[in-house]
Amino acid sequence: MAENGNKGFSTRCIHAGESLDVQGGIHLPLYNHSTFAFENTGKLLDVVEGRNPDGNLYTRYGLNPTIRGLEKKCASLEGGEGCLAFSSGMAAEAATFLAHCNAGDHIICIGDVYGGTYDLLNENLPTLGIETTFVLGHELDDLPRQFREKTRLVFFETPTNPNLEVLDIRRIAAVAKTHGALTVVDNTFASPVNQQPLERGADIVVHSATKYLGGHSDLTGGLVIASAELLAPIWVWRKNLGQMMAPEVAFLLARSLRTLSVRVKAQNRSAQQIAEFLQQQSCVLRVNYPGLKDFAGHVVASEQMSGFGGMLSFVFDGDAAATAAVVDRLRLFSIAASLGGVESLVTQPITTTHYAMLPEERERRGIPDGMVRLSVGLEDVEDLIADLRQALG
Ligand code: PLP
């Protein structure tokens, strides 16, 4: 059971994984130590042999109080039995794939995924004999036919980047289960405030904590949340690849998580208003936001998400250069990759996240030159709308 499982989400953001230290510090202290000492060999062996599961030993193993506290908080927020913290989102994903797939195994990846994930699945894992089939979101009816005898994992993000396509977690997890495969959901875009994939049948949740969970564009980290049984092999890969989150980062992330709920709810509200504003502009051909009633994913999103998120994209009625000019005129939105921070960001996917993708493939995935992606921050929404109005004008 997740710690504080019967308490509300905001309460768990603040209290889960926290305990007073010997000095009475009000929240999780930073233990930067790489190693921990024992009074005697018996006590060391209690930790090494698992009789003292809360014992500290060596930070790369995760046996460090700051990391453990952070992991308890994150497990609680995603409703999972346990959590492992990593040095980045990519490290979390890589360890998950390596721990649950061997040479000859097969993965199904659905919809658009982050470019680094695509490279890992498409370039790196095949060198280890692990193959991935990529299925687009609108090809879901064909999903059952994509399973092979050795399909181990089904992986997807929802909402997706940059089209904000909404994939039905319950539906996909049910199909995966009948084929004996695990469902892994990257919950980075939604955050656990808006979406709880484990509740809907997913087996494993991964995060780039660099985004909403960190929330201030000042840390890089990753998480995997799942049952103790599914985490056990991932723990071994993390230990042996040395992909541990640094204690300073765990401390900073725990600090950020205490405000996660209020941050994300405010970002949800502003993104909805901005999406509705953009929809009214004649120079905007399409707005992708799950909170818009006429958006394709709205029905599934309304059922599966408790908020529609701070990410949206729109298609400007212009070529690549005219769209870049709109982006360049923005003053409050910074031109930057990444997302989920307190400051609003803008990116033209063809110049960043989808730069390396062939134009034919972008076209197949519905990513035109005029597409602009926004990560809505915590500035006053009136100021953000005024900035967009002058840039589009
Ligand atoms: N998943 C998603 C949805 C992302 O957007 C990113 C990074 O942009 C990652 C995973 C990888 O995370 P990190 O940069 O923390 O390794």
Which residue ranges form the domains of the chain, and what is each CATH number?
9-257 (3.40.640.10), 261-392 (3.90.1150.10)
In one-letter notation, the amino acid at residue 353 is T
CA of 53 to the centre of ligand 1 (A): 31
**pLDDT recorded at residue 301:** 98
pLDDT at 4: 60
Residue 35 per-residue DSSP state: B
Distance 89 CA to ligand 1 centre (A): 5
Nearest to 273 by CA among 296, 289, 297: 289
Cβ neighbours of 1 (radius 10 Å): 9
Q: Which of 310, 215, 315 is nearest to 270 (CA)?
A: 310
115 CB near ligand 1 (under 6 Å):
no
Q: Is 336 left (phi over 0), alpha (psi -120 to 50) or beta?
A: beta
The per-residue DSSP string of 184-253 comes to EEE-TTTHHHH--GGGGT-SEEEEETTTTTT-SS----EEEEE-HHHHHHHHHHHHHHT-BPPHHHHHHH
- What is the atom index within ligand 1 of the atom nearest the CA of 117? 10
Question: Which pair of tokens denotes residue 142?
Answer: 């064909």
CA of 104 relative to ligand 1 center, distance in Å: 26
Structure tokens at 139: 């090809």
Ligand 1 and 88: CB distance under 6 A: yes
Q: Compute, in angstroms, the gap from residue 206 CA to the centroid of ligand 1.
A: 10
CB 118 within 8 A of CB 167: no
Whole-angstrom distance, CA of residue 131 vs CA of residue 235 = 23
Task: Find out whether the beta carbon of 90 lies less than 6 Å from any atom of ligand 1.
Answer: yes
Tell me the CA–centroid distance for residue 180 and ligand 1, in Å: 27
Q: Between the CA of residue 325 and those of 34, 362, 376, what are the distances in Å?
A: 49, 21, 20
Q: What is the pLDDT of residue 1?
A: 37
The answer to whether the beta carbons of residues 44 and 36 sit under 8 Å apart is no
With a 6 A CB cut-off, is 346 part of the ligand 1 pocket?
Answer: no
Single-letter amino acid, residue 392: L
Nearest atom (ligand 1) to Cα of 209: 15
What is the atom index within ligand 1 of the atom nearest the CA of 188? Answer: 3
pLDDT for residue 5: 62
Alpha helices (H) in the chain, listed in sequence order = 9-15, 41-48, 65-78, 89-100, 115-119, 169-178, 191-194, 228-241, 247-257, 260-279, 298-304, 320-329, 359-364, 381-392
- CB atoms inside a 10 Å sphere around CB 305: 22
CA-based angle 84:85:89, to the nearest 5? 115
* pTM metric for this prediction: 0.96
Residue in the structure block whose two tokens are 């790489």: 34
Q: Provide the annotated active-site residues.
A: 60, 114, 186, 211
Q: CA angle at residue 186 from 185 to 190, to 5 degrees?
A: 105
Nearest-CA residue for atom 4 of ligand 1 = 114
Token duo for residue 128: 């280890």
222 CB within 6 A, ligand 1:
yes
Instruction: Write down the pLDDT at residue 356.
Output: 81
Local mean pLDDT, 10-residue blocks, the chain (393 residues):
72 93 88 97 96 95 97 98 98 98 98 92 97 94 96 98 96 98 98 98 98 98 98 98 98 98 98 98 98 97 98 97 98 96 96 85 89 98 98 95
Alpha carbon of 241 to ligand 1 centroid (Å): 19
Task: Please tell me if the CB atom of residue 208 comes closer than 6 angstroms to any atom of ligand 1.
Answer: yes
Nearest by Cα to 19 from 32, 3, 5, 35: 3
Instruction: Please indicate whether residue 112, judged by its CB atom, sits closer than 6 Å to ligand 1.
Output: no
User: What value, to the nearest 5°, has the Cα angle with vertex 277 and ends 273 and 282?
Assistant: 165
219 lines ligand 1 (CB under 6 A): no
Task: For residues 295 and 283, give the distance between their C-alpha atoms in angstroms, rounded to a whole number.
Answer: 18
Which of 384, 382, 212 has its CA nearest to residue 307? Answer: 212
Which structure tokens are listed for 40?
A: 């005697």
The bridge status of strand 204-208 relative to strand 182-186 is: parallel
How far apart CA 93 and CA 67 sit, in angstroms, is 18
